[in-house]
Structure 1
Amino acid sequence: MIKVLFVCLGNICRSPMAEAMFRDTVKREGLEHKIIVDSAGTGDWHIGNPPHKGTQDILLKNNISFDGLKARQIVSTDLVEFDYIIAMDTENKKNIEKLKEANPKAEVLRLLDLLPHIVTKDVPDPYFTGNFQEVFDLLEQGCKQLLEITKERI
């Protein structure tokens, strides 16, 4: 079983969008019994809340379910339990690295590091920019590449 955790700041925009998209792709590939997907935030402001309305809208527009998604905060044990922790931006990655304790298992990387043709390596936060379509497009590309990498480890 490969475990993937997407992480952003509040876990209501980017990371739950990526979780829903990746989960949908994994299901379409018939790999839901081999890959576990989750998301979390580095902050605690939105714990227990559903995804942001903008995230919900773009997922609904693309027929992607977000049922059951609720914001949570990343904890140090996530670095032991997950194989991949995928940060949405540089600041998120730094905050994740601060949680490392002895023998972390997870590989921590920014999603857009998987896309060498993309100049910017930080997924913009639509909570501030309002551009949920841009984020969806970037996540779609990143998730496709992440799936290819993940399939190699199954």
Structure 2
Amino acid sequence: MEHKVKVIFVCLGNICRSPMAEAVFRHMAAERNMGQLVEADSAGTGDWHLGKIPHEGTRRELDSAGISYDGMKSRLVDRQDLQDSDYIVVMDSANERDVRELIQSGGYTPQGNLMRFMDLLPEKNMDGVPDPYYTGDFNQTRELVTAGCSRLLDRIAHELAIR
């Protein structure tokens, strides 16, 4: 089999939005029989929660949807992530700025497509996925993440069919 399409979701602390997106994306890929075609990961740009499991609110939302987050622990996005990923999906403009700074300071060009998550949902007219660590609205995050992950999987399926 050829190369799996690698997606990395990036947020600030890697305990709320990006691990939720990773878990939802993996779950949906398995449901669509695309699990063998895609690989998902998540990371953060800030180091406050390194090694921690997803936030209680994220775990509650994923548990209620029957979506596994086993083995997930917060970590920092690194050069290897950015070089190896086909899609680098940032949750908001601050995450995008941080990732672009990491790329620039590293002096390399990532192979993948750097995009904001909400670019997948233009009809929402939102700059980024609101951070439930501050808003407390983990349900809103799950709704946005679910819709966006579905669109990303549609895009990847379309690209794979073209190849």
**If the length of structure 1 is used for normalisation, what is the TM-score?**
0.97
Give the drift of 1:128: 0.7
Q: What is the match of residue 111 of structure 2?
A: 105
1:73 alignment partner AA:
L
Q: What is the match of residue 86 of structure 2?
A: 83
1:30 alignment partner AA:
N
Give the drift of 1:152: 2.2
* Paired residue total: 154
2:52 paired with 1:49: yes
Q: Specify the SS of the correspondent of 1:38.
A: strand
Q: Deviations over 1:34-70 (max 9, x none)?
A: 1000000001111111000000000001111111111
Provide the C-alpha distance between the structure 2 equivalents of 1:114 and 1:38, rounded to a whole number of angstroms: 18
Give the drift of 1:85: 0.6
| Contiguous gaps of at least 5 residues in structure 2 | none
Provide the C-alpha distance between the structure 2 equivalents of 1:116 and 1:128, rounded to a whole number of angstroms: 23
Residue correspondence of structure 1 range 132-147 to structure 2 within 5 A: 132-147=138-153
Q: Specify the SS of the correspondent of 1:46.
A: coil
Which is higher, the Rg of structure 1 or of structure 2?
A: 2
Q: Once superposed, which parts of structure 1, at least 4 consecutive aligned residues long, lie more than 3 Å away? A: none
Give the number of the structure whose residues are more often helix, by fraction.
2
Pairwise CA RMSD: 0.9
Provide the C-alpha distance between the structure 2 equivalents of 1:113 and 1:135, rounded to a whole number of angstroms: 15
Give the drift of 1:19: 0.4
1:72 alignment partner AA:
R
| Contiguous gaps of at least 5 residues in structure 1 | none
